[in-house]
Structure 1
Amino acid sequence: MSTTPSTGRTIGGLAVGLSLLLSVMLLCFGLPAINSEPRDVPLAIVGDEATVGALESTLDAAQGGAFDVMAVTDAAAAEQSIRDREVYGALIPGSDGLTVDVASAASPTVAAALTAMGQAVAAQAGVEVTVNDVVPTSEDDPKGVGLSAGALPIALGGFMAGVATTLVIRGTRQRLVTMATFGVVAGLAMTAILEFAFGTLTGNFWASAAAATLGIVATGMTVLGLESLLGKPGIAIGAVLVVLLGNPLSGLTSAPELLPRPWGTIGQLLPPGATGTLLRNVAFFDGAAIAQPLMVLCSWLAIGVVLLWLSAWLSARRLAASTVDATGASVA
């Protein structure tokens, strides 16, 4: 280790670099939250064409582009569309007033916004409003704080596992086994905390644990594959994908539809966002609408495995080439 004192140029460069990194982190985490507002939030409206059109016009006048309206025939169809994760809520006009169906389990933030919007529409029409929480959060965690708080551990846990595995474990097979073992243990532990300690999750424990395990393994394998193939630049790329972009764009603290376009959509294509959506839909909606997050996580998992295999193959080729060169040199 060098004992030569660092120069002012080195000190200044480090200070500026770290300051830029801090600024980028603040922008990545702060901008989505500051610019959060409803954007094409799926909403069902019960009624005939005239009724749906009138309510849609009222919503557009109040906040244009906030809701993507889907017409349904009756209250039962509206409730089913919520349970199927096709919409976040529904407006059901009737002779006794306006009923607003919400699902706080899908997003407490959106449920609160829909409740306020329904109250405003009812007040404008001079009728009573009734709010039904079709798929509520748990009684122990009514605001769903535990799931929101789990966004960062999911991202950082998978990221740190990928980095630690590359630094400590040698051998492609051994790294795969390590990552799979960590994913299972961490997935079980995280699900146990969310369900039994926080009281956040209410669904089948093993299904939720499987969802958490897949998300953690997919995240860790992505970082592991990138680092194995690219070295330190791979860690940096993984940090950007998982922490700087993946975590703030996950939509776990609000909803993807509340984030600025197209960042909400991009967030669902990254491991933290897909993991959060998968865990939410498994825990509260009996596995509805899990095809996309499953596909996203399996794709990232496959990418990580391929990158890890490619790194091992290239290392084997370099070793073989160096052995041939050494043999040729000794013969000469």
Structure 2
Amino acid sequence: MESSNMFNNDNTTGITTMNLVHGNAICYSGYREGQNPGAGVYPSYEEIKEDLTILAKNWSYLRLYDCGPHAEIVLDVIRNEAFSFKIMLGADLGAEVSNPNCPWDANFDAQILQQNHVNNVAQIDKLILLAKQYPDIIFSVSIGNEASVEWTDHLVPVESLISYVRKIKNEITLPVTFCENYVPWTNKLAPLVAELDFLSIHTYPVWEYQTIESALDYTKQNYYSVANQYPDTPVCITEAGWACASNGRGIEPWNASQELQAIYYEQLIEWTTQEKILTFVFEAFDEQWKGSSHPLEPEKHWGLFNLDRTPKLVMQSLFQPQEEPAI
């Protein structure tokens, strides 16, 4: 890690700009077999401590997706066990409007949408509270995740997103961002850009039917389509990765493997390190609770580590088991 702070201010031109500091970053969600945030079953303190001990070997920055019990335990473990991670803390927003463009059901009655808005305000309040409680650990906050892309099942109007940014900035001084697919940044999110300190994009070539041969170039196109449109606003990548298995739902089975994940990861890290683009790899560990019940559901197979915390092919050079000394 190049700095204990993610941001450097550059005043050489007479204009204050905010530059993202590059470092190894990863998305972390610690749910293990039988655990599920929807069911209120969370990892224990010791389980999260085990995860963070693994991740501390190679990563400086972690991204968390919500402000619930999982995030609170993570922050508690980091402070109590003196880990040096810096956290991007996110808000988990529910739909405030229905979305007929969502491929699965995203039509809600007015009562549900109103309750979701109430819950979203509470989530933003919790984000602010945790940011105040852990100012030495949380380096930035995100107002949501994929809540504006055309296929989302938790659609939030841009006007609401702007109101949440302003609410946060009235309470804390941490940099504020929004984590979203690259496409909305190039059109509908333009009014939001002026409110944010930096932009956070997601890029998934394998979800968009790219092969490994075209994957990195496609990722570069995604990134620069946003970065070139907003040259005065820093842009980082908060999700990029490759699935290791698929039942054919959205990703052809032949295009999902540990070998392909390792190739994409190595190419991605080489490029983003060279260009100093802060990039949160998706994701640390496989999560069984995600997606459908099918064991090869691709949503379950993005981790650099298996569900049992053993390293996949992509991580085996860094996390080889120690050999027992000869007697």
TM-score when normalising by structure 2: 0.28
Q: Which has the higher helix share?
A: 1
Q: Which has the higher strand share?
A: 2
TM-score when normalising by structure 1: 0.28
